[in-house]
């Protein structure tokens, strides 16, 4: 009887120990599971925060690139508008008297050569080589005058040149000075040709009168 009681007591104690051990094991297992779930939740939260930061970074980068592109386009548009404005001609410059004066000087320069050539052809006082030289000078001056007229047209015509008002006025001044020089040269050169031909003509007339006076044939 005592042995049975003792065995029962031992079994009870063993069962109690097993039950406590099992309870501790299960408690530890569930505690570990709870900690793992908590850790996983924290990791997930960190991943979500990281992904959010990445998305924000991409958004900022994309916005920044768009802003840079818009700024670049805006700057380009400003530059394009500025250069387009340079192609326009101020009405005050288009009506500048120098433009008409240059055209008049050009016409008068060419006319001086043309009139002199016609007169020389009629008088027949210059030699063949002298007439050839006259034509070369005339052609050279006409070509240079045409270059000035072409530049004048470009300066006063919208869309031809990209220049500020000051630059256009500066071009007008230079063309005007060059054309004045050519006009003055035309007057000087044709004047010398006329003097040469007139001198020869007068000299021949004097010789003819002397021959008549002395009866020289």
Task: List, for residues 154-164, the tens digit of each pLDDT value.
Answer: 999 999 999 99
The domain locations on the chain are 1-87, 94-214
With a CB cutoff of 8 Å and minimum separation 6, the contacts of 123 are 197, 201
| pLDDT-derived band at 9, boundaries 50, 70, 90 | very low
- Give the C-alpha separation, 117 to 136, whole Å: 12
DSSP per residue, 77-119: HHHHHHHHHHHS--HHHHT-HHHHHHHHHHHHHHHHHHHHHHH
pLDDT score of 104 more than 70: yes
Q: How many CB atoms neighbour CB 125 within 10 A?
A: 20
Task: Give me 173's structure tokens.
Answer: 């001044």
Q: How many CB atoms neighbour CB 201 within 10 A?
A: 13
Task: Give me 60's structure tokens.
Answer: 């900022």
Global pTM reads 0.62
Q: How many CB atoms neighbour CB 137 within 10 A?
A: 15
**pLDDT of amino acid 125:** 95
Average pLDDT of span 6-14 = 46
**pLDDT of amino acid 173:** 97
Q: How many CB atoms neighbour CB 138 within 10 A?
A: 19
- For the stretch 47-95, pLDDT in tens is 565 556 556 655 555 566 665 565 566 665 666 777 788 899 999 999 9
- Give the C-alpha separation, 27 to 181, whole Å: 114
């Amino acid at each position: 009887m005592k042995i049975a009681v003792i065995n029962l007591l031992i079994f009870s104690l063993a069962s109690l120990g097993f039950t406590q051990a099992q309870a501790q094991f299960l408690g530890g297992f569930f505690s570990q599971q709870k900690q793992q779930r908590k850790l996983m939740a924290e990791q997930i939260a960190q991943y979500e925060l990281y992904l959010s930061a990445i998305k924000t970074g991409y958004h900022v980068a994309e916005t920044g690139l768009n802003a840079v592109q818009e700024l670049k386009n805006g700057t380009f548009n400003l530059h394009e508008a500025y250069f387009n404005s340079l192609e326009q001609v101020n009405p005050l410059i288009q009506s500048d008297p120098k433009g008409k004066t240059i055209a008049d000087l050009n016409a008068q320069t060419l006319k001086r050569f043309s009139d002199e050539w016609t007169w020389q052809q009629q008088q027949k006082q210059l030699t063949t080589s002298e007439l050839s030289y006259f034509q070369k000078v005339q052609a050279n001056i006409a070509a240079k005058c045409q270059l000035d007229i072409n530049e004048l047209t470009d300066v006063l015509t919208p869309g031809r040149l990209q220049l500020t008002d000051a630059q256009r006025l500066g071009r007008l001044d230079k063309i005007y000075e060059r054309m004045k020089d050519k006009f003055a040269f035309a007057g000087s050169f044709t004047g010398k040709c006329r003097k040469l031909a007139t001198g020869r003509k007068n000299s021949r007339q004097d010789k003819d009168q002397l021959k008549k006076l002395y009866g020289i044939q």
